[in-house]
Structure 1
Amino acid sequence: MMRILLWPLLLLPTMTMAQAPEPISHWLQTHCTECHSGEKPKGGIDLEVVIEDGASALLEDWRQIERVITSGEMPPEDEPAPTSQEREEMISTLRDWLQGILQSRPEVPGTVGPRRLGRSELQATIRDLTGVEVDVHRHLPADPSSDGFDNQGGALSTTFIERLFRIAEEVAVSAVILDDGNETPTTTYPIDEITIEGAGRILSDSAFFYSRGTASIDHHFPRSGTYQIDIRGWGQQAGDQPARFQIKIGAQKPRVIEISETRDQPGSRSIELTVPAGPQRISATFINDYYKPDHPEPSQRDRNAAIISFRVEGPAEGMEPSVFQVEALEGKGSPTERLARGIEHWLPRFWRGPTTPQQRQRLVETSTEAALDPNSAESLLRAALVAAIASPRFILRLEIDPPASSPGTIRDLSGHELATRLSYFLWGTTPDQKLLEAATRGELDDREGLLIQTRRLLADARSRSVATNFATQWLRIRDLGGLRPDTKIFAKFDRKLLESMRLETVEFFDHILRQRLPINELIEASYTFANQRLALHYGLEPIVGQQMRLLEVESPRGGLLSQGSILLATSTRQRTSPVLRGKWLLEVLLDAAPPPPPPGAGTLPLPGEEGADLPLREQLRLHRNEPTCAICHRRMDALGFSLERFDAIGRYRTGDIDDRGELPDGSVLEGIKDLKTNIHSSSGFQRSLARNLLTYALGRGLIDEDAPAVARLLVRLKSDPTIIALIEEIVVLEAFRRRLIP
């Protein structure tokens, strides 16, 4: 049985301390070795051998022993149980011993390969370098995720490079205005870039609606001004009205257009309006569905409609040269001379480090060959910008080892390499000029200089990236926008509510970080963030407006566990799921992920299937009767049931709801209050936050040699249990400041 629980045994390096302390060996011999020793130990693991090996045993063996004793999974129910005091003393002694082992081992940095900028990083980097907001997400597929985060790599396929060139060209057009002044930027969104909601489906050439439904796009307007929005579509005409669409752009007053054309000859309609700079949603909703199945003329029985494309043109007033363009082409001289002078200034920021005269000259030559008009400085700058962005030096975060480097040796990161790590860790974007200058002066080479810059970056608004990028991925709500609860059950759920839920968690995490509050506030806070829509949904005191604000709330609200984003992400489309919620708690907050379900483990019945009408607790009891399922579900279900008073979209339910959960050690959780206490008292919560934040900071999965680094982070949290303290400790770790040469 113990072998089943000790999954998977990682081949960690052996420890270098002495035998296990006598209280530990005595406890295991009293409660465990009767089953887990001898010629045929249960589960195939001989604890007598582990005890004898002591610190020479696999570290993960001891870690898993700590976990199963802490959770109450061991000793099993049918064996004599230790008293609560005996269990607590064992856990404390074992943790202290393991901590000492880890602290005695040296830190060894790992190897980080070339990493491609993720979509959010790329978009932020382009914005900070050029001032241009480009919707990278419409060009590139979702970033691959590894170890829970999407900042760990990604291949440069031919398709990706082609799309990167498209992005670079779009940026160049918006960032650099040609001197003839006759160009108006235009963006077309074909069917594969349109999102639909409601009663519709995607055809080969259009978004088709057979009842009320919406086609929409998200467009980044580069400047405030007057824009023309063209909507191309057709109607399956019937009745005495042509097909009508309600057009909505951002928060502006909706407008209605009529499309009388048919599929054979589609038509276009235009709307002109003034739009502020920034991202806006443009939507077209089919609003006059018509259905007369008994009409004598078959062609007049059903009115449907379709959208083929959206087209955005503008601003009509023209565009003033961007700050980037003005600075890149300042001074006098020939177009080529002005370009070369500008490249010397801006290319090091784009490539995040020093550039050589040869590299700069090569870019000038490439731009001269590629420019539409090589006699125009603006045309040359456009070509140079495209080439710089499409370069591997831009899209990849490179840490290039010296040619004479010996594999297996360790080197310090250069100042610019460290600046890049630091900036993308805390800002999710490129280093600013101050950070690059500090790197050039060597100020990042010592601990104090590195901490000075770290604190400066944390004080900047861009450090909100820790909440928007790290926290949403750690908590597994990054893709919340793809979740759609069953509207037949949750009729009032909509996209605005979904976005409010995401913002609640982001604002909450960012607040705890910036105010340097204890990390237990993540679990036990007596406040949350809400706007008018979310407060109404939660049944809180009414507030007005869409701005998120801090609200003091009464228990059980407050903290992550009662936030709609978490509760929605851990439910099915139709109902709550104690299994999903319990699994999330173990994996995300307690650093105690269960193993994958074994083949044939089965699932709970879906609505309409046999057994679906049984109470949820009874369905899970029957599921646990399967021997392959019982071990994991004992703890997982108990944790999940403690959140049962919250429905699948985060509303609190009163009445006859059973939210009790019995843990493997026999203790009982009476709802969310006891769950919060259980998590706060668990060493797994701090370990989970530390391990995940370190994984995100390094841009790679943790390896065996990172165990001492994690131990040092946990020591720091004991004296200063804040996210900022954790960040400050991470950036001075060997693993962050140095690299192992592969």
Structure 2
Amino acid sequence: MNDDTLRLLPFFSMRQAVLTACMLSAGSLWAADTVLTLKQQAGAFFDKHCLECHDAETKKGGLDLELVDYGMAGRAQTDLWTSIHDRMAKGEMPPAKQVQPAKAELEQVLGVIKPALITADRAGREVVQRRLNRIEYQNTINDLLAVDLDLKDLLPEDQQAGGFDNNGEALAVSTEQMQGYLAAARRAIDAAIVTGDRPKTETFKVDSTREVKPYFADGTYSLVDGRVVIFTSSDNSSYSKVSTRDHRIPVRGRYRFRFQAAAHDAADRLWFTVSGSSFAGLEATHKNLGYYEVSAEPKMFEIEALLEAKSAIQFFALGLPGYLKKKPGVVYPGVGFGEVEITGPLIEQWPPESHTRLLGTTDLKTGTLADAERILSGFVPRAFRRVAEDGEVARFVSLTKSLLESGRSFEESLRAGLIAVLCSPNFIYLREASQPDTTRIAAAELAVRLSYFLCSAPPDDELLALAAKKQLSTPAVLRAQAERLLSSPKSETFVKNFTGQWLHLRQLNDTTPDEKLYKKFDELLQVSMLWESEGYFREMLKADLPIEDLLDARWAMLNQRLAEHYGVADVTGLDLRKVALPADSVRGGVLTQAAVLKVTANGTTTSPVLRGVWVLENILGQPTPPPPPNTAGIEPDIRGAETVREQLAKHRNVESCNVCHRQIDPPGFALESFDPIGDYRENYLRWNVTNVEHNWGSVVKGALVDSSGQTASGEAFADIRAFKKLLLARRADFARCLTEKLLSYALGREMGFSDRAAIDKIVEQTQTQGNGLRTLIHAIVQSETFATR
């Protein structure tokens, strides 16, 4: 600790002084006179304009400026100073009703805070080596071993930080996590290495008649033209009586299923879904194999799927009544399924690629330690995504050797060594070593970062070869590789993972809409919602459409089910396609997509607060603080006597609430015209109970929906159409928000105050090149931030 640090001790607590000393030793902390200048100028400004409301006694908004650390040591302090800076820069502090500082005075103090905050944020940023999350781990195993396994469910759920589950700060490793890695590694090696003879490929047929026949009498099923017809949609999508359970597949592998299906007595086409179900002990697992449409004309369907041993496929009709008691003389629509022809396992080569890639021609019965050393010497660099360092391979060879010497077989000993590699920190963690005398990451690490950003998977041979030749960091080469990955099927993982977290699509199944109020909701609508939001982002990425189309556009990605939900005519079929919207449509952009509207509701009611917070945080990049302690929440009045808007008006009369709610409520009000399943409404709906004992009743219209409002800056809007125009006027704020989200996802860390200049540079560069989404991705990959620790 040098003299400068000792001089600073009076300003900090002991913990802060230690942190400051650490940052000084790294040569990254500003000098003592900078701290003194900040204390003098910012402190004087606070004394004059802020402490009347934000001292230890008053602490309005929970802020006590007497406790701020002018050394800005630690994440909590940089976050606090960032909030102070932003509120001052936006003119929110001091409040409008207070005496305002002169413009020059404000600019002077901000000019002192900003550079100090940049330095403190950069110096205090902890470089976290992040581990692979569940999806990345699964993809990495599958790529490495040439297998196709669902391993993520063997691992604990990943936590999020900054909105993403690939953030290093959230990816701790627990005992439970390591047990999961061990189980996943064992299963992966078991699947990759084959023993015994090649399984025999067979073709056999099976139908559901025996299982379904007892139910013909009650009319829920029938047999028509040799097809078993279903007249109801199952409430439990995990079990269907129409299945191939009478002849389960014998071994794990890829199988082809061929069957005929047709719609019966239906005025229009109908839909169905197929799932593969397997059982491990008492636990069943289900794998959706797709959604299909069918008409009165019988059609032959063919599905290929990789399934576990003893699996069966099941058929579910969609869009039919959940319960049916047939009446004489009434015609009921249904979906009929013929017998299923099953062929498999389908084997392209034997031994499979997974086996030969791992073992070559080594015989597991006669293998030697020399064979194990050769296998591990090739496996370790591929698993670690880099050249093996001195002694790394030897450690795993030593483990294998010790087991051999204890009397274990060659196969058992080798498996242990391979499993140990897959549980090593060098495999589980993404190494991002910087080059000597710089914060730029090395070439191999750049390849890893690019591949996990755009594919959630390890770099392929082409990327690694360019990194080894020191060519990847060349702008033209880096752009070409980013373009290649964006055009590859693996980029679908990027679409699903990013939209799933940015738009909260992963929460789509978390709520079940009230079936009494929202009878239009069904499984096909829900899955169509997901397809729309993912498809919209995918289309924008593919065509490099301007990012403001995420705010509003005159097109949408629809199929028939979703178009009917939105009231858009002339869209038929199950497949998603780009559709031009009517000029007066309320749709267009992500805000009015049914998936987003559903995840921002609770299934029964909507809350302007929840939706408003969502818009602020995910569209405008304005994080909202939690409500003050002991603040009562807003609950809908089920009697309909008082609207949520009226309750929030009372809420905003509380001064401590008003500062946030004047930001939160307007976007929430604009979205009130959409119910919990994303349907457009003019009135709230209520369940009018006529028999309390049985909860019998009917749906009645409640109060009129008012979707008008006024933003915090005073701009009025009449409805969601007008509000989206106001959002378009703030497209620069949205561009910064989206760029920050994408950078956080790409780097596995939250963006700090010191990243703002880089974000602004990326936004400006993208804007000058057409402002397309694909262009934005390229600008991020080409940025200095992307290549820096």
* TM-score normalised per structure 1: 0.70
Alignment deviations for residues 631-650 of structure 1 (CA, whole Å, 9 cap, x no partner): 22223212211112211111
SS at match of 2:509: helix
* Residue 523 (structure 1) aligned with residue 551 (structure 2): yes
1:117 aligned partner: 132
Alignment deviations for residues 516-574 of structure 1 (CA, whole Å, 9 cap, x no partner): 22111111221111223222322222534432221111221111111011111111221
> Equivalents in 2 of 1:463, 1:58: separation in Å?
38
2:661 aligned partner: 633
* Residue 673 (structure 1) aligned with residue 721 (structure 2): yes
> Equivalents in 2 of 1:581, 1:446: separation in Å?
43
1:716 aligned partner: 765
1:661 aligned partner: 709
**C-alpha deviation, 1:420, in angstroms:** 1.0
**C-alpha deviation, 1:144, in angstroms:** 0.9
**C-alpha deviation, 1:229, in angstroms:** 6.3
2:596 aligned partner: 566
Distance 1:108 1:155, change over 3 A: closer
1:65 aligned partner: 88
1:327 aligned partner: 357
SS at match of 2:579: strand
* Residue 588 (structure 1) aligned with residue 588 (structure 2): no
2:298 aligned partner: none
Identity score, percent: 30
* Residue 621 (structure 1) aligned with residue 649 (structure 2): yes
> Equivalents in 2 of 1:734, 1:249: separation in Å?
42
Distance 1:398 1:670, change over 3 A: same
Alignment deviations for residues 559-610 of structure 1 (CA, whole Å, 9 cap, x no partner): 11110111111112212211111111111111122221011221123555xx
Amino acid aligned to 1:412: R
2:524 aligned partner: 496
The answer (yes or no) to whether the contact 1:223–1:277 under 8 Å persists in 2 is yes
Larger RCO: Structure 1 or Structure 2 (Cα < 8 Å, ≥ 6 residues apart)?
A: 1
- Residue of structure 2 aligned with 1:128, choices 139, 143, 161: 143
- Residue of structure 1 aligned with 2:776, choices 726, 735, 741: 726
The residue correspondences of 1:200-349 to structure 2 (distance < 5 A) are 213=236, 215=238, 222-224=253-255, 250=289, 276-278=304-306, 320-331=350-361, 335-336=367-368, 340-349=373-382
Alignment deviations for residues 651-698 of structure 1 (CA, whole Å, 9 cap, x no partner): 122475321012233321121122212222223212211222121111
The answer (yes or no) to whether the contact 1:176–1:325 under 8 Å persists in 2 is yes
Alignment deviations for residues 57-90 of structure 1 (CA, whole Å, 9 cap, x no partner): 9665442234356xxx9864x6899xxxxxxx99
> Equivalents in 2 of 1:446, 1:103: separation in Å?
32
- Residue of structure 1 aligned with 2:191, choices 174, 184, 187: 174
SS at match of 2:191: helix
Amino acid aligned to 2:748: G
- Residue of structure 1 aligned with 2:163, choices 148, 154, 159: 148
2:487 aligned partner: 459
Aligned residues: 617
SS at match of 2:491: helix
SS at match of 2:679: coil
SS at match of 2:671: coil
Distance 1:335 1:595, change over 3 A: same
Amino acid aligned to 1:722: G
Amino acid aligned to 1:623: H
Distance 1:233 1:620, change over 3 A: same
The answer (yes or no) to whether the contact 2:621–2:734 under 8 Å persists in 1 is yes
1:295 aligned partner: none
> Equivalents in 2 of 1:100, 1:714: separation in Å?
20
Between 323-332 and 103-112, the greater mean CA deviation after superposition: 103-112
- Residue of structure 1 aligned with 2:428, choices 383, 388, 395: 395
Between 448-457 and 149-158, the greater mean CA deviation after superposition: 448-457
> Equivalents in 2 of 1:482, 1:680: separation in Å?
31
The answer (yes or no) to whether the contact 1:423–1:429 under 8 Å persists in 2 is yes
Amino acid aligned to 1:671: D
Q: CA RMSD in A?
A: 5.1
Between 219-228 and 640-649, the greater mean CA deviation after superposition: 219-228
SS at match of 1:443: coil
The answer (yes or no) to whether the contact 1:531–1:549 under 8 Å persists in 2 is yes
2:75 aligned partner: none
SS at match of 1:460: coil
* Residue 577 (structure 1) aligned with residue 600 (structure 2): no
Amino acid aligned to 1:591: G
The answer (yes or no) to whether the contact 1:107–1:734 under 8 Å persists in 2 is no
The answer (yes or no) to whether the contact 2:134–2:155 under 8 Å persists in 1 is yes
SS at match of 1:224: strand
1:421 aligned partner: 449
The residue correspondences of 1:23-38 to structure 2 (distance < 5 A) are none
> Equivalents in 2 of 1:726, 1:131: separation in Å?
32
2:212 aligned partner: none
> Equivalents in 1 of 2:50, 2:543: separation in Å?
49
The answer (yes or no) to whether the contact 1:13–1:704 under 8 Å persists in 2 is no
1:54 aligned partner: none
Amino acid aligned to 1:420: V
The answer (yes or no) to whether the contact 2:277–2:314 under 8 Å persists in 1 is no
> Equivalents in 2 of 1:574, 1:601: separation in Å?
23
> Equivalents in 2 of 1:509, 1:674: separation in Å?
23
Between 553-562 and 727-736, the greater mean CA deviation after superposition: 727-736
The answer (yes or no) to whether the contact 1:14–1:58 under 8 Å persists in 2 is no
